[in-house]
Amino acid sequence: MIDKSVYGPWAVVAGGSEGVGAAFAEQLADAGINLVLIARKPGPLHETADRARARGVEVRTLALDLLDPGALAAVRTVTDGLEVGLLIFNAGANTYGHDFVTGDLDGVQGVLDLNITAQLALTHHFGALMKARRRGGIMLVGSLSGYLGQARISVYSAAKAFSRVFAEGLWLELREYDVHVLELVLGVTRTPAMERAGLRMDLPGLRVAEPDDVAREGLDHLADGPVRVAGGNAETAERRSGFPRAELVLGAHEASQRLLPSST
């Protein structure tokens, strides 16, 4: 179980309302760590908060779109004065089904602003406080998509590649201050967002992870940064890091097409 003396007494979970974020919240609550949960949708957010409170911890909620220009200030109104020992950035935005050159450029910018700009803002703020206290942890939830370019999610894939490389550098910067940094890379995970997207997760041979399992793996390996590929997908990540790139990108593209909902 995660160590409250290292990562407590408070944790901030951005994207903490459902799926993997909710699993993080419940497991942290089981460890006795108080929570600040941030998410756009008030309904699932409050449901997760209630489940965490039932485990005996204090929970504060913030129904917030992290794309809002005042998002960091809003987060600070809830967290200033709290000793935050753990930041989990689980918020993310995808662009399934949109080619870049014919897609909405404003939507693309939103993907970058959430997956990169908002992540940097929260990491900068809480990371500085952890560095000064010389303890804590930062977990950035990534994706196997960040290991190679993919059609119709090219910007999302690039943003996840940024996050992984950023985590590696941040891990180097903060390790001497006993602040742990981990990029937790997820593969196909059975979350409400995946279900809403209509992705097929019943294909023979497809490795599908459960939110509770990947959240537990991340918390168990928080001190083992800079990168942890969850759900038994390490070999896939290694393959996607190789050469020749054209063969790898085309092969992954063909495999990914099977996941998309049928058009008939």
* 156 in catalytic set: yes
* 177 in catalytic set: no
Which residues contact residue 137 at a Cβ distance below 8 angstroms, ignoring those fewer than 6 apart?
6, 7, 85, 86, 87, 130, 179, 180, 181, 182, 222, 223
Alpha-carbon span 91 to 38, nearest angstrom: 9
Per DSSP, the three-state class of 121 is helix
Among candidate residues 67, 90, 170, the one with its CA nearest the CA of residue 124: 170
- Rounded to 5°, angle at Cα 197 from 120 and 237: 55
Among candidate residues 42, 46, 33, 44, the one with its CA nearest the CA of residue 6: 33
Asked whether the beta carbons of 111 and 159 are under 8 A apart, the reply is yes
Question: What are the phi and psi torsion angles at 232 (to 5°)?
Answer: 75, 25
Which residues form the catalytic set? 156, 160
